[in-house]
Amino acid sequence: MRHSDSISSIQLAAILISTMLGVSLLIIPKMVADFVGVAAPLATVTGIGISFVGMLAFALLGKRFPEKTLIGYNQTILGKTFGNIFNMLFMVITLVLFGLEARQFAEVLAGALLPNTPIHVSIFLMIVICATLNFSNVSTFAYIHFFYLPFLIIPLFIVIGPSFADAEMYHLFPITGHDVSGKEFFDGAKIVCQGFSNYIIISMIIPYMKNAKSIVKSSIWGFLIASIFIFSTVTICLAVFGEKKILDMYWPTLVLARMVHVPSEVLSRVDAIFLIAWVFAVFTTVLSYYFIFVRGTAEIFKTKKFHLISYIGTPVAMIIALIPQDTYDLYRYIKNAAFLELFLVVVYPILLLLVAKIRRKKGNAT
């Protein structure tokens, strides 16, 4: 039987878009350019392609096991013992990413909007807001993402659209970069994959879809729309600032927003509007990470005490967020976690799908 607490195909796509458009929007142009220079757009496309394979594998697993989440089909395919080992690994990684994303949010807030506000206050507020939400209802989670989606998309159009007038196409050539090694190119693509790794949220909400037949189609549409915005952001930042200038900036997308001029002074501070939209984007992203942790942990231990799990995870996430000494230390942690994330969100679901086919494991309905 399908779950009574259900979401639509459009809501699935909206969840994927608002989850993927998060903290990384501000810094990903710099991080990719740091590895590959002017080959950043090509590395971004490569990273998107690699991530798409992982996302598609999760969508196909969801279609094969339409009544099970990641926790459920891990146990079915690998057996309870090995399945729960990977389940716990996913929960730990998700909680770590939740804490680090909250720290990124606080760093940008302190550097661009609230310089006099202590970082730990911003971290605490974001974590507590997520922790106090009702995780027992998946449709409520979907409504939150669907409601905030226009507030993310419209400001991005306002920033990216007018910026084409300031773009210098010679900044994008040669598209393969200047003497970029294979390792450097892969590292750049890997950073993009890491920024996209939160598409794993679909593995926890697919069982609640009203129409299981549209799982793959909705997932692809949501992924592609988010990918277009990420690619456009990287490309336009590089085209406007060039390789050397973009490396001197910490948040190139925010600088780009400050340059935008709207005719007739309809909007005098586009960057302020963009930052507000970015706060919404961060909230929906970290909320998705915490949703995975709370719902996944509850399913592993077969309990419905979502609030208890949420409150237990709060101080742990706070400690994780405060571990990095500064912004540079924070992004060092994030880069170091890139390889493990790449395995869990790309390689692992592909292997899991292959094992399921070899062992002829599938759900009650397909």
Question: What is the rounded distance in angstroms from the CA atom of residue 116 to the CA atom of residue 79?
Answer: 52
For residue 174, whether the previous peptide bond is cis, meaning omega lies within 30 degrees of 0, is yes
Tokens found for residue 355? 């094992």
For CA atoms 214, 76, 139, 13, the dihedral sign is negative
337: CATH = 1.20.1740.10
Report the candidate in 61, 21, 110, 73 with the shortest Cα–Cα distance to residue 288.
21
Determine, yes or no, domain membership for 324: yes
Determine, yes or no, domain membership for 3: no
Name the percent of the chain lying above pLDDT 70: 96
Average pLDDT on 290-301 reads 97
Rounded to two decimals, the pTM is: 0.94
Determine, yes or no, domain membership for 109: yes
Q: Is residue 239 exposed (0-12), middle (13-18) or buried (19+ Cβ within 10 Å)?
A: buried
Determine, yes or no, domain membership for 267: yes
* Domain carrying residue 188: 9-353
Tokens found for residue 167? 């773009």
Contact 48, 348 (CB under 8 A): no
Tokens found for residue 35? 């590895």
Which amino acid is located at 354 in the chain?
L
Determine, yes or no, domain membership for 87: yes
Q: Give yes or no for residue 2 having a pLDDT over 90.
A: no
Question: What is the rounded distance in angstroms from the CA atom of residue 28 to the CA atom of residue 36?
Answer: 12
Q: Give yes or no for residue 263 having a pLDDT over 90.
A: no
Q: Give yes or no for residue 264 having a pLDDT over 60.
A: no
- Kindly state the greatest CA–CA separation across the chain: 65
Question: What is the rounded distance in angstroms from the CA atom of residue 165 to the CA atom of residue 162?
Answer: 6
Q: Give yes or no for residue 163 having a pLDDT over 70.
A: yes
Contact 176, 43 (CB under 8 A): no
Structural domain count, the chain: 1
pLDDT digits (tens, 9 = 90+) for 330-366: 888 888 887 888 899 999 999 999 999 999 998 875 4
Q: Give yes or no for residue 266 having a pLDDT over 60.
A: no
Determine, yes or no, domain membership for 277: yes
Question: What is the rounded distance in angstroms from the CA atom of residue 285 to the CA atom of residue 280?
Answer: 9
Average pLDDT on 157-174 reads 90
Find residue 7's DSSP bridge partners. 209
pLDDT digits (tens, 9 = 90+) for 3-45: 558 899 999 999 999 999 988 888 899 999 999 999 999 999 9
Determine, yes or no, domain membership for 366: no
Determine, yes or no, domain membership for 363: no
Report the candidate in 282, 345, 356 with the shortest Cα–Cα distance to residue 123.
282
Comparing 87-101, 108-122, 267-281, 315-329, the range with the smallest average pLDDT is 267-281
> At 254, which helix (H) or strand (E)?
helix 252-259
Q: Give yes or no for residue 169 having a pLDDT over 60.
A: yes
Beta strands in the chain (DSSP E): none
Average pLDDT on 278-293 reads 94
